[in-house]
């Protein structure tokens, strides 16, 4: 499964909590209230468990976590370097 689909599903199933029925890949997750700030911590925990790598603190910035697209782009880059 593609990174963006995995992230999209996790966000929709676990973090949106009924606030929206669908989310776009470019939707601003925080500004549009799709997820709350604790959701960012859950996203980091999910990524670390699912993709088996530690997200460095300096990478936990709004630019990387703004949308599903931004996050999957960041993750794809990281996973490519890892392999």
Q: Footprint of another protein on this chain (CB under 8 A)?
A: 17-19, 30-33, 36-38, 40-42, 44-45, 48-49, 55, 57, 60-63
CB of 28 to another protein, least distance (A): 9
What single-letter DSSP state applies at residue 29?
A: T
Residue among 2 and 54 whose Cβ is closer to another protein: 54
- For 17, left (φ over 0), alpha (ψ -120 to 50), or beta? left
Residue 11: how many other CB atoms lie within 10 Å: 23
- CB nearer to another protein: give 2 or 8: 8
């Amino acid at each position: 499964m593609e990174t963006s689909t995995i992230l999209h599903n996790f966000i929709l199933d676990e973090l949106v909590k009924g606030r929206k029925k669908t989310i776009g890949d470019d939707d601003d997750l925080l500004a549009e209230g799709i997820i709350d700030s604790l959701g960012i911590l859950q996203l980091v925990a999910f990524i670390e468990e699912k993709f088996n790598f530690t997200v460095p603190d300096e990478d936990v910035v709004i630019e990387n976590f703004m949308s599903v697209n931004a996050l999957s782009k960041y993750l794809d880059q990281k996973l490519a370097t890892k392999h």
